[in-house]
Amino acid sequence: MSHSFTQQRFPCIQPVFCKFFFHFIAQAIAAIAEWPTQGKQSADYVLFAGLSPLAAVEAKRLNINVAGKIGQAERYARGFDLEAEHEPAWLAEGRGMSWPDGQGGAFQLPFAYSCNGRPLIKQSPEASGTWFRDVRQPSNLAKPLQGFHSPDGLLDHLRRSRAEAEARLRQEGFAYLGLRDYQQKAIAAVESALAVGQTNCLLAMATGTGKTRTIIGLIYRLLKAERFRRILFLVDRTALGDQALDVFNEAPLEQSQPLSKIYNVAELGDMAAEAETRVQVATVQAIRQAALGEALLPFDQRVARAMQKLFSQHAWTPLQRKWLDRLAKQLTHEGVIDHDFVNTAFANDGGAKQLDKLLSGQLEQVMNTLADGLWPQAAA
């Protein structure tokens, strides 16, 4: 069967793909568009590693909410027809068959994505981010991510056994870490939260109680048990990163070896993570620069920049500029501009329909231009 590889089918999500998949073609990683599935439906994209199909992607336009579309990607994952030359993904996990879907059927692909190309905005996650679900367990819920997994990351996600890692953590003792009782309890609490699917944990510890030492113990246990492949140690100031690195280099763990002697630790300024890097120490500013290619920028300045771009592209009438200025004022309180936002912001003025009329039918273009101006990495 012949299938086309394209970067033009859904241009709004291409920048997200380009960052993680399209430049890996030489390594036999591919995203193939319009792949037929059962029921005369075609997956917008299927992600392959060699001849092994890994994930189905539902691609939506920029102004479409994506949270509710993950179900369509799941249908593609369920209805994917494995061909003779394919290498089933479940073999990489050590299984002998596909994954039950809890409804009497089975998933042929382990992962499902839904994306409209927007970066994740925590104030409006349903309309942004790359939604992802690991369909191998019915209890796994869909969640928004900043972007697609890297090819290596997705393969690692497939092969890494969470159940086995958690079993190793339960059997692993604390004695060699030399921690105080409350530090051990803090680590155990985080591990218990991870075991039940919690993704956000906060440890509040007073000055002088050994926060860094506690976190080093937690990092070491998680890496040793293979619960995670790589861990980011994030700080807001370089001085704090230097202090942490000193402890990484000195605090003894097993066989009196510090963390930096047991695992590869990438230091401040070294943002080109290698395959063997297990701990990355970085500042918030460095992560922002690496991810977006720009420094931290207040949101009101983003809005002003986007409006400047919009005004420079078209000769708006004074009345239209007045309405656009009002739109910008409303936008400073939001993270995403779409039809729901416009209908809410202009509910007393006829909503999106009336604003589109005032803008001579160009509301869709205005929203796309503003979205690109607010979050330029989605178009870079």
Residues 135 and 172 in one domain: no
Residue 54, Cβ density class (10 Å: 0-12 exposed, 13-18 middle, ≥19 buried)? buried
pLDDT tens, position by position, 4-23: 333 334 444 444 454 444 33
135, 159, 183 - which closes a domain: 159
Residues 288 and 305 in one domain: no
Is residue 21 assigned to a domain?
yes
Residues 67 and 171 in one domain: no
What pLDDT is stored for residue 133 in this prediction? 95
What pLDDT is stored for residue 169 in this prediction? 94
292, 308, 339 - which closes a domain: 292
Residues 92 and 214 in one domain: no
Strand order in the sheet with 264-266: 231-235, 277-283, 264-266
- Asked whether the beta carbons of 344 and 305 are under 8 A apart, the reply is no
What pLDDT is stored for residue 336 in this prediction? 64
What pLDDT is stored for residue 290 in this prediction? 67
Q: Which bin fits 174, alpha (ψ -120 to 50), beta or left (φ > 0)?
A: alpha
**CA dist., res. 132 & res. 229, Å (int):** 19
Is residue 356 assigned to a domain?
yes
Residues 24 and 152 in one domain: yes
Pure H helices in the chain = 14-20, 70-79, 89-92, 151-159, 162-171, 181-195, 211-224, 238-250, 259-262, 284-292, 299-312, 318-331, 339-345, 351-358, 363-374
Is residue 84 assigned to a domain?
yes
**CA dist., res. 121 & res. 286, Å (int):** 19
DSSP helix/strand/coil, 33: strand
pLDDT tens, position by position, 192-226: 999 988 888 999 999 899 999 999 999 999 999 99
Distances (CA, A) of 179 to 136, 186, 202, 363: 37, 11, 19, 60
Is residue 3 assigned to a domain?
no
CATH code (residue 181)? 3.40.50.10810
What pLDDT is stored for residue 76 in this prediction? 94
- Asked whether the beta carbons of 369 and 310 are under 8 A apart, the reply is yes
**CA dist., res. 295 & res. 297, Å (int):** 6
Residues 44 and 130 in one domain: yes
Residue range 263-278: mean pLDDT, rounded:
78
Residues 262 and 141 in one domain: no
Distances (CA, A) of 239 to 48, 160, 234, 246, 376: 42, 35, 12, 11, 30
CATH code (residue 92)? 3.90.1570
Residues 60 and 133 in one domain: yes
Is the pLDDT score of 257 beyond 90? yes
What pLDDT is stored for residue 5 in this prediction? 31
Q: 220 versus 26: which is more confidently predicted?
A: 220
- Asked whether the beta carbons of 53 and 89 are under 8 A apart, the reply is yes
pLDDT confidence bin for 168, thresholds 50/70/90: very high
Residues 192 and 267 in one domain: yes
Element (H, E) at 114: strand 111-115
Is residue 279 assigned to a domain?
yes
Enclosing domain of residue 41: 11-159
Q: How many beta carbons lie within 10 A of that of residue 289, not counting itself?
A: 15
What pLDDT is stored for residue 188 in this prediction? 95
What pLDDT is stored for residue 22 in this prediction? 38
Greatest alpha-carbon span in the chain: 74
Residues 324 and 358 in one domain: yes
Distances (CA, A) of 99 to 95, 138, 143, 162, 197: 9, 10, 20, 16, 20
Is residue 344 assigned to a domain?
yes
What pLDDT is stored for residue 1 in this prediction? 35
Count of the separate structural domains present in the chain: 3
Residues 269 and 368 in one domain: no
Q: 288 versus 160: which is more confidently predicted?
A: 160
107, 130, 159 - which closes a domain: 159
Residues 188 and 285 in one domain: yes
Element (H, E) at 143: strand 143-145
Is residue 73 assigned to a domain?
yes
Is residue 1 assigned to a domain?
no
pLDDT confidence bin for 296, thresholds 50/70/90: low
